[in-house]
Amino acid sequence: MSFLKIQHVKKDYPNQKGVIKDFSLTVEKSALLALIGESGSGKSTLLKMIAGLENKDAGAIYVGDLKIANPSERLVPGYDEVQLVYQDYKLYPNATVEENIARPLLLYDKAYREKRVKFLLKLLKLESFKDKLPRNLSGGQQQKVAIGRALSLEPELILLDEPFSSLDTIQRRELLVELKTMFRELGVTVVFVTHDLDDALQLTDQLALIKNGKLIQRGTAAEIFKSPANKYAAHLFSHLNPIPNTKDAYIRPSEVRLFKTKGLKVKVTDVQYLIHYNQLFVELADGVQWRLEDQSRVFAIGDAVFLQWDEEAVLNFA
Ligand SMILES: Nc1ncnc2c1ncn2[C@@H]1O[C@H](COP(=O)(O)OP(=O)(O)OP(=O)(O)O)[C@@H](O)[C@H]1O
């Protein structure tokens, strides 16, 4: 059953119309969903509206049975049930890790507070850092404390707005894998905003693609890879080679087979050594540039390569 329901939400800013355009999306309870879109597509605005921290112009948002009101309708904006964590989420600099996580629980019973904080420190593997100040932690540990603080009030929905973008790739990937296990254990529902498909796939394979304030496609990574709704969705997964003499048809580099004879003849203009294959930059007869994957690393600059692919692999957007 749907847990988060976003129904026909619209948003204009005074100087920017159509930031969110008739946006509808549902997310199941305990699901982890990545909301992917390029910069300025409206991701942060949407998350803030889900958290009740930004006014919507139209539509409705429900978290379970809770109808999210606009901040203009409430004395204190936001909800304990929905926690938003973003990159600049500030920890209290002069409070320890333990105190930072306990802070939202100050009004709760002491025994409950201590039990909850102990549970979260263990869950986040921060027990041995509990007496440290944020500045003495790594970036990844600081983000875990921020997540611990967001989890302290037992929210049902966690919204992550690119909170890990300041971390290096290795730290970020490790943290995402760790968080995935933790979120699953807790059964909390998560919407993770990112513009990076690789990051999204570390946490989940449930994707929603947003462009210019509109939902482009919703599905698993495999579904969207196989049947992308448009060129934008297809392009998130890989480079697209335009097929000559077609209106809007493309083939992915990974779908093109390379031969020394027979097929479409192209010439190698550059070779790039990548981890799993050599990336070839090639030129077709009419000057069109393509990229190819040379798995056996046999072709060099100046070589002629002959290409073949299956018709079923062609992506047609005409
Ligand atoms: N408070 C605001 N007032 C006016 N315009 C805003 C405001 N917040 C965002 N915008 C504009 O709305 C559009 C969507 O912004 P938003 O931050 O939601 O996008 P985003 O997809 O999260 O982008 P990014 O990935 O860069 O954070 C942008 O064009 C932005 O300039």
SS in 3 state form for the chain? CEEEEEEEEEEEECCEEEEEEEEEEEEECCCEEEEECCCCCCHHHHHHHHCCCCCCCEEEEEECCEECCCHHHCCCCCECCEEEEECCCCCCCCCCHHHHHHHHHCCCCHHHHHHHHHHHHHHCCCHHHCCCCHHHCCHHHHHHHHHHHHHCCCCCEEEEECCCCCCCHHHHHHHHHHHHHHHHHHCCEEEEEECCHHHHHHHCCEEEEEECCEEEEEEEHHHHHHCCCCHHHHHHHCCCEECCCCCCEEECHHHCEEECCCCEEEEEEEEEECCCCEEEEEECCCCCEEEEEECCCCCCCCCEEEEECCHHHCEECC
139 and 251 housed in the same domain: no
164 and 277 housed in the same domain: no
Q: Which of 231, 263, 281 is the last residue of a domain?
A: 231
Q: What is the pLDDT of residue 171?
A: 84
Q: Could you give the CA distance from residue 186 to residue 116 in angstroms, rounded to a whole number? A: 13
Residue 10: CA count within 13 A, CB half-sphere:
9
Q: What is the pLDDT of residue 87?
A: 80
200 and 300 housed in the same domain: no
Q: Which of 201, 231, 261 is the last residue of a domain?
A: 231
Q: What is the pLDDT of residue 101?
A: 95
* Cα 160 to ligand 1 centroid, rounded to whole Å: 16
Q: Which of 11, 16, 38, 195 to mutate to test the pocket of ligand 1 (most atoms within 8 A of CB)?
A: 16
Q: Could you give the CA distance from residue 251 to residue 191 in angstroms, rounded to a whole number? A: 31
* Cα 46 to ligand 1 centroid, rounded to whole Å: 10
180 and 35 housed in the same domain: yes
Q: Which atom of ligand 1 is nearest to the CA of 14?
A: 4
Structure-block tokens of residue 111:
């025994």
* Cα 176 to ligand 1 centroid, rounded to whole Å: 25
194 Cβ inside 6 Å of ligand 1? no
40 Cβ inside 6 Å of ligand 1? yes
213 Cβ inside 6 Å of ligand 1? no
Point out the residues of the chain with pLDDT beneath 50.
none
15 and 49 housed in the same domain: yes
Q: Could you give the CA distance from residue 144 to residue 149 in angstroms, rounded to a whole number? A: 9
Report whether 86 contacts 161 (CB < 8 A).
yes
68 and 190 housed in the same domain: yes
214 and 170 housed in the same domain: yes
Among protein residues, the one whose CA lies closest to atom 3 of ligand 1: 13
Among protein residues, the one whose CA lies closest to atom 24 of ligand 1: 39
Among protein residues, the one whose CA lies closest to atom 7 of ligand 1: 13
Cα-Cα-Cα-Cα torsion 269, 272, 277, 283, nearest 10 degrees, comes to -20
Q: Which atom of ligand 1 is nearest to the CA of 45?
A: 18
Residue 99: CA count within 13 A, CB half-sphere:
10
Q: Could you give the CA distance from residue 204 to residue 42 in angstroms, rounded to a whole number? A: 21
Q: What is the pLDDT of residue 90?
A: 82
Question: Domain residues for 32?
Answer: 2-231
* Cα 43 to ligand 1 centroid, rounded to whole Å: 8
User: What are the C-alpha distances in Å from 39 to residues 211, 235, 290?
Assistant: 9, 15, 26
Among protein residues, the one whose CA lies closest to atom 6 of ligand 1: 13
114 and 223 housed in the same domain: yes
Among protein residues, the one whose CA lies closest to atom 12 of ligand 1: 19
152 and 176 housed in the same domain: yes
Q: What is the pLDDT of residue 17?
A: 94
Q: What is the pLDDT of residue 25?
A: 97
Tell me the one-letter amino acid at 104: P
- How many structural domains is the chain composed of? 2
- CATH number of the domain to which 275 belongs: 2.40.50.140
* Cα 42 to ligand 1 centroid, rounded to whole Å: 6
Q: Which of 231, 249, 281 is the last residue of a domain?
A: 231
- CATH number of the domain to which 52 belongs: 3.40.50.300
Q: What is the pLDDT of residue 11?
A: 97
Report whether 103 contacts 95 (CB < 8 A).
yes
257 and 151 housed in the same domain: no
172 and 206 housed in the same domain: yes
Q: Could you give the CA distance from residue 200 to residue 106 in angstroms, rounded to a whole number? A: 34
Report whether 231 contacts 204 (CB < 8 A).
no
165 and 250 housed in the same domain: no
